[in-house]
C-alpha cells in the first residue's frame, strides 16, 4: 500500500511517534513531524530523508491554539492525522490535585480535540484519524489522572467516528500496553523484569509494534473500520486490569 498524502504525527520526534512517522514515510506518505522539541523533530525528519522518505519538521506546542492552526495551515491537504503527543507522570491518588487533572486533560485530550477540529475540514473522503490511547484506560494505580485522560480519549474517538463517518473519514485509536521506550525506562516506578513477567509472552512491546497498528488503521484496506480502540499489549489485558 502506498499513501502519498500528507500525514501529521504529533509527538513524532521520539519513541512511539518517531516509529509511526518512519512507518508512514516508508508507505509513501509526506510526513509532518510535529513536536514540542523542534531539534528532535528535525533529527527525526532527517532520519526519514536518509531512508529516502519525505518528512518535514514542525515545532509546536499542541496546547497553543494559534500554533496548532499554523501547523494545520502549513500541512496543506491532510490524508492522515496521528494524535500521539501526550504527557505522563506517576503520582498516587492522595497526592493528586485538581491542577494535575487539568494539565493531563489539557495535553492528552483537549489538545487532541482541537487538532481534530482544525484538521478534519482539510481531509477528503478516505482520510483517517488515529489517536493514541493507553491500556491504562482499563484502570491503573499511581496515575489515575493519566488513566482517566486516556479513557476520555477512547470515548472521544468513538464519538468523533460517528460525527465524521458521513464525510468518509475514519477515526480509531490504538491503546498500547507496556512499550519499551526511553520514557518507560525513565519512570520512577519502572522494573522491566517485573513488567516482562506480567506479560503472557514474557516480552514487552516495541514502538514499531504500535506503528504497525497505527499504519493499518489509517490504510485504505481498513476503510470499513471506524470507532474502534485496538489494544496492542501482547495480551496483558486478558489477565487483569493493571494498566500502563
Catalytic positions, written as ranges: 146
Coil/strand/helix, residue 130: strand
Cα separation values, 184 from 2, 16, 34, 56, 192, Å = 32, 11, 21, 27, 9
Closest CA to 133 of 64, 86, 165, 168: 86
Closest CA to 170 of 216, 108, 237, 104: 216
| Greatest distance between any 2 Cα atoms in the chain | 50
Residue 205 in contact with residue 244, Cβ under 8 Å?
A: no
- Cα 21 to Cα 7: distance, rounded to the nearest angstrom: 8
Grid coordinates belonging to 15:
519513541
> Which residues pair with residue 83 across a beta bridge?
131
Based on its alpha-carbon atoms, the radius of gyration of the chain, rounded to whole angstroms, reads 17
Amino acid at each position: 500500500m502506498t499513501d502519498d498524502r500528507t500525514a501529521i504525527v504529533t509527538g513524532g520526534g521520539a519513541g512511539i511517534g518517531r516509529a509511526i512517522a518512519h512507518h508512514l514515510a516508508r508507505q509513501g506518505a509526506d510526513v509532518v513531524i510535529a513536536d514540542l522539541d523542534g531539534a528532535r523533530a528535525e533529527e527525526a525528519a532527517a532520519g526519514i530523508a536518509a531512508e529516502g522518505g519525505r518528512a518535514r519538521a514542525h515545532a509546536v506546542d499542541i496546547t497553543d491554539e494559534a500554533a496548532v492552526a499554523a501547523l494545520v495551515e502549513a500541512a496543506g491537504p491532510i490524508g492522515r492525522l496521528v494524535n500521539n503527543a501526550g504527557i505522563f507522570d506517576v503520582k498516587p491518588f492522595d497526592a493528586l490535585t485538581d491542577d494535575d487533572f487539568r494539565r493531563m486533560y489539557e495535553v492528552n485530550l483537549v489538545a487532541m480535540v482541537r487538532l481534530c477540529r482544525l484538521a478534519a475540514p482539510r481531509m477528503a473522503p478516505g482520510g483517517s484519524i488515529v489517536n493514541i490511547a493507553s491500556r491504562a484506560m482499563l484502570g491503573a494505580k499511581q496515575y489515575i489522572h493519566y488513566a482517566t485522560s486516556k479513557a476520555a480519549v477512547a470515548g472521544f474517538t468513538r464519538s468523533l467516528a460517528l460525527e465524521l463517518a458521513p464525510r468518509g473519514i475514519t477515526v480509531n485509536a490504538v491503546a498500547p500496553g507496556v512499550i519499551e521506550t526511553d520514557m518507560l525506562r525513565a519512570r520512577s516506578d519502572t522494573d522491566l523484569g517485573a513488567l516482562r513477567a506480567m506479560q503472557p509472552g514474557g516480552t514487552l512491546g516495541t514502538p514499531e509494534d504500535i506503528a504497525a497498528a497505527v499504519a493499518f488503521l489509517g490504510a485504505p484496506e481498513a476503510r470499513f473500520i471506524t470507532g474502534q480502540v485496538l489494544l496492542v499489549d501482547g495480551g496483558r489485558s486478558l489477565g487483569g486490569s493493571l494498566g500502563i
